Amino acid sequence: RKEVEQDPGPFNVPEGATVAFNCTYSNSASQSFFWYRQDCRKEPKLLMSVYSSGNEDGRFTAQLNRASQYISLLIRDSKLSDSATYLCVVNVNYGGSQGNLIFGKGTKLSVKP
Amino acid sequence: DAGVTQSPTHLIKTRGQQVTLRCSPKSGHDTVSWYQQALGQGPQFIFQYYEEEERQRGNFPDRFSGHQFPNYSSELNVNALLLGDSALYLCASSLMVGGYTFGSGTRLTVV
């Protein structure tokens, strides 16, 4: 079983649609959770951190359910510029070290006019 | 404020050759991590350096080795290149406790 699993995608949606990404993780020791965005042939960039209380940044809402080991990202009123691959990421810290980021495979989103 | 700088940006090598990739971390960052991203996959953790030592390692063979210098910059070396080593190699820098900043990567093609 992969450590971080995401919807396989791709998602093709019209402008203005609401789209939801789902992700599960297997390591219960995971301590930090993130969504990254990666444009074609570019490096991943942090979109937002994810907290148990849920957090929102404009049109983006992220949720974390530690009991279910489940993470979600909701994009409302999608724009053409939201087209990218969305990566679910967890960080497992090992005994005071920085830990390392474990990435899902990513879900590609294409927003069409 | 310069971000993470990686060189070269693109590289073509022949099977069996050796390659060295370089990374300069973001100013003030002391930890460097390397990732391999094959086409259509998420980045996979290779190893992490802090205080010039390898602190953690992912599931990669010994052909992959690295180094961190006193100025926190880092190198990734891959020996005996295989076709399957073709990928985007990403460097990420961070403080020991803190967020990661990724470089734009080195795209390695093995022919």
Does residue A104 contact residue A23 with C-beta atoms inside 8 Å? yes
Residue in A42, A100, A105 closest to B56 by CB: A100
Tens-place pLDDT, residues B66-108: 999 999 999 999 999 999 999 999 999 998 666 889 999 999 9
Query: Considering only CB atoms, which chain A residues are within 8 Å of B90?
Result: 43-44
Sequence-distant (6+) residues with CB within 8 A of B80 are B16, B18, B63
Locate the DSSP E strands across chain A.
4-6, 11-14, 19-25, 32-38, 45-49, 55-57, 60-65, 70-75, 84-92, 100-103, 107-112
B6-22 pLDDT, tens digit each: 999 999 999 999 999 99
Burial (0-12, 13-18, 19+ Cβ within 10 Å), A69: middle
Q: Cβ contact (<8 Å) for A100 and B45?
A: yes
Report yes or no: A20 and A74 within 8 Å, Cβ to Cβ: yes
Name the DSSP letter for residue B63.
T
> In the block, which residue shows the tokens 């010994």?
B62
Whether A42 contacts chain B with CB within 8 A: yes
What single-letter amino acid sits at A11?
F
Question: Which residues of chain B neighbour A30 with C-beta distances below 8 Å?
Answer: none
Residue A100: pLDDT over 90:
no
Instruction: Say if the Cβ atoms of B56 and A105 lie within 8 Å.
Output: no
Q: What is the pLDDT of residues B19-68, one digit of tens each?
A: 999 999 999 999 999 999 999 999 999 999 999 999 989 999 999 999 99
| Among A residues 45-84, those touching chain B with beta carbons less than 8 Å apart | 45-46
| Residue partners of B103: CB distance under 8 A and separation at least 6 | A43, B3, B4, B5, B6, B23, B90, B91, B92, B93
